[in-house]
Amino acid sequence: MDASNGAATDPGQAGMVIVGGGLAGMKAIEELRSQQYDGPITLVADEEHLPYERPVLSKGYLLGSESRDSAFTHDQQWYADNRVELVLGDRAVAVDRPGHKITTRSGREVSYAKLLLATGSQPRNLRLDGADAENVYTLRNVEDADKIDAAITGLAEAGRPMVIIGGGWIGLEVASAARQRNVEVTVLEALEKPLLTVLGPQVAQVFADLHTERGVRLVTGAEVSGIETDSGRATAVTTADGQRYDAGAVIIGIGAAPRTSLAADAGLDVDHGVLTDASLRTSDPDVFAAGDIAEVDHPLLGRRVRVEHWAWANDTGPVAARAMLGQDARIDFLPFFFTDQYDLGMEYIGYLPPGSQPEVDLRGDVAGRTFRAYWIVDGAVVAGMHVNDWDNGIDPIKEIVLSRDPAKIN
Ligand SMILES: Cc1cc2nc3c(=O)[nH]c(=O)nc-3n(C[C@H](O)[C@H](O)[C@H](O)COP(=O)(O)OP(=O)(O)OC[C@H]3O[C@@H](n4cnc5c(N)ncnc54)[C@H](O)[C@@H]3O)c2cc1C
């Protein structure tokens, strides 16, 4: 793909520069133009692709029900029509804050009036021999999804098993897709249940049961000790208790880490993520951060939060864009996320502080997997979710979480 779409911009005029071609960056661009910003916009993205949305990669795309193209919200023409200069396949490697410019790996310099960092996350990897074998995969981008899709096809044809290390969202979604394509799947989860720290024991059990009923071998309390290889290919995963799990392919799904090094190297305040105020402004008033990397002083939650979910990128990008334009834009929404696994669809809203010991209030048919759940900490509803309750959806749950009042639970 061309490194530039040739959008006409005055090279002397510093405009809005967005680093990172994911959802947050793309939504910021949309918002800049819809707010009638008429100056230059440059997108610097290290992937070769136009910006795209990732959720489909672990769901419909692996199932074969949705195309790769469905991940791409806008085509090349849209960027041209909106006069966005695209610098694709090139990585921003330095931010010169006093000089108001960034430098890319290829040596290009791009001046900015305001800069948005939306560099997202990268998968964590295992520091184990064998983790770099050719049939060991992580899942973050379209190339990863292509490889896993091909691996599932190969495993199904050869009758070989997949081992998934980590029973988090990505691991379980890949397990769901692989099982539905008739691949034998083992999930090795370190804790007593998958998703335990996010959902707590009762709701985590719903996901454990869902997967075991669909034929997943779910091994909990598993401490992975090695990946055996033969001629550069993984053949098995071993655990500290001496078990050996035969593997034709291995997926490592042990979480993601925010890509904060560009911000940190530029001297911006960084903790777990890039620190911002409620307007997504970093410690430099001309530099903003959105999506997975932003650690935001959240006005509704009264604490700093960093969220690695689709809706957060979708909603923080536009807030950052309006703040870049000098508007009084602030976050006024709660974290929200969703998953789809087999015939289970789930939506969750709110924020459960790490380490809290919530009471969980379950309503509906938990065994039948159509229910709502609310997390209550110190007498306040802090989060709620529904599973397959599409008649009501997430809106009434959101109202209850915003009110924080357990008496409103119905
Ligand atoms: C497979 C998968 C499935 C998911 N499913 C769900 C789901 O079901 N529900 C949900 O709520 N969330 C889901 N998520 C999470 C959601 O996709 C992310 O939270 C979202 O993509 C974050 O958007 P972002 O724009 O912050 O970052 P990203 O989408 O990660 O985009 C950041 C981009 O910046 C680029 N970049 C990084 N550094 C530089 C640099 N220095 N210079 C230039 N470019 C750079 C990266 O290559 C990347 O293209 C899923 C994620 C994955 C990977």
3-state secondary structure of 16: strand
Band of pLDDT at residue 355, cut at 50, 70 and 90: confident
Q: What mean pLDDT do residues 125-133 have?
A: 94
What is the structure's pLDDT at 410?
Answer: 84
Strand bridging mode 380-387 / 344-350 = antiparallel
From residue 158, give the alpha-carbon distance in Å to each of 155, 162, 183, 248.
Answer: 5, 11, 9, 9
Q: Which amino acid is at 35?
A: Q
Residue 5 has pLDDT above 50, yes or no: no
Where in the chain is CATH 3.30.390.30? 343-408
- Annotate 169-203 with DSSP letters as a single string: HHHHHHHHHHHHTT--EEEE-SSSSTTHHHHHHHH
Strand bridging mode 380-387 / 370-377 = antiparallel
What is the structure's pLDDT at 12?
Answer: 56
Give the contacts of 4 (CB within 8 A, at least 6 positions apart): 85, 86, 87
Residue 9 has pLDDT above 80, yes or no: no
Give the contacts of 98 (CB within 8 A, at least 6 positions apart): none
Where in the chain is CATH 3.50.50.60? 15-122+257-324, 125-254
| CA atoms of 320 and 308, how far apart (whole Å) | 16
Q: Which amino acid is at 297?
A: D
What is the structure's pLDDT at 13?
Answer: 76
Given the CA of residue 54, which atom of ligand 1 is nearest to it?
Answer: 17
- Tell me how far the alpha carbon of residue 10 lies from the centroid of ligand 1, in angstroms: 30
The arrangement of secondary structure in 125-254, i.e. its CATH architecture, is 3-Layer(bba) Sandwich (3.50)
What is the structure's pLDDT at 4?
Answer: 40
Give the contacts of 231 (CB within 8 A, at least 6 positions apart): none
Does residue 20 have its Cβ closer than 6 Å to ligand 1? yes
- Tell me how far the alpha carbon of residue 43 lies from the centroid of ligand 1, in angstroms: 15
Give the contacts of 247 (CB within 8 A, at least 6 positions apart): 135, 160, 161, 162, 163, 186, 227, 234, 235, 236, 237
Q: What CATH number should be reported for the domain whose range is 15-122+257-324?
A: 3.50.50.60
According to DSSP, the residues that pair with 250 across neighbouring strands are 136, 163
Give the predicted TM-score (pTM) of the model.
Answer: 0.95
- Tell me how far the alpha carbon of residue 47 lies from the centroid of ligand 1, in angstroms: 11
- Tell me how far the alpha carbon of residue 22 lies from the centroid of ligand 1, in angstroms: 5
Does residue 308 have its Cβ closer than 6 Å to ligand 1? yes
| CA atoms of 397 and 410, how far apart (whole Å) | 10
Band of pLDDT at residue 81, cut at 50, 70 and 90: very high
3-state secondary structure of 55: helix
Cβ proximity of 34 and 65 under 8 Å: no
Q: What is the pLDDT of residues 236-266, one digit of tens each?
A: 999 999 999 999 999 999 999 999 999 999 9
Among 144, 309, 314, 348, residue to substitute to test ligand 1 (most atoms within 8 Å of Cβ): 309
- Across 118-169, the runs of DSSP E, i.e. the strands, are 121-123, 136-137, 162-165
φ and ψ at 66, to 5 degrees?
-130, 145
Q: What is the pLDDT of residues 166-183, one digit of tens each?
A: 999 999 999 999 999 999
Does residue 253 have its Cβ closer than 6 Å to ligand 1? no
Residue 6 has pLDDT above 80, yes or no: no
Q: What angle do CA 310, 153, 132 make, to 5 degrees?
A: 70
What is the structure's pLDDT at 354?
Answer: 87
Residue 390: CB atoms within 10 Å = 11
Given the CA of residue 262, which atom of ligand 1 is nearest to it?
Answer: 41
Q: What mean pLDDT do residues 49-61 have?
A: 97
Q: What mean pLDDT do residues 143-171 have?
A: 98
Any idea which residue has 């409620």 for tokens? Answer: 278
Given the CA of residue 123, which atom of ligand 1 is nearest to it?
Answer: 53
Mean pLDDT of all residues belonging to the chain: 95
Q: What is the DSSP letter of 278?
A: T
- Tell me how far the alpha carbon of residue 157 lies from the centroid of ligand 1, in angstroms: 31
Q: How far apart are the first and last CA of the chain?
A: 53
From residue 46, give the alpha-carbon distance in Å to each of 186, 269, 344, 356.
Answer: 34, 23, 34, 38
3-state secondary structure of 75: coil
Cβ proximity of 354 and 378 under 8 Å: no
Cβ proximity of 228 and 130 under 8 Å: yes
Residue 377 has pLDDT above 90, yes or no: yes
According to DSSP, the residues that pair with 111 across neighbouring strands are 101
| CA atoms of 163 and 244, how far apart (whole Å) | 11
Residue 288 has pLDDT above 50, yes or no: yes
From residue 376, give the alpha-carbon distance in Å to each of 127, 300, 369, 379, 381.
Answer: 37, 16, 21, 6, 4
φ and ψ at 208, to 5 degrees?
-60, -45
Yes or no: domain 343-408 corresponds to CATH 3.10.580.10? no
What is the structure's pLDDT at 254?
Answer: 97
What is the structure's pLDDT at 103?
Answer: 98
Q: Which bin fits 195, alpha (ψ -120 to 50), beta or left (φ > 0)?
A: left
Q: What mean pLDDT do residues 299-315 have?
A: 97
Residue 2 has pLDDT above 60, yes or no: no
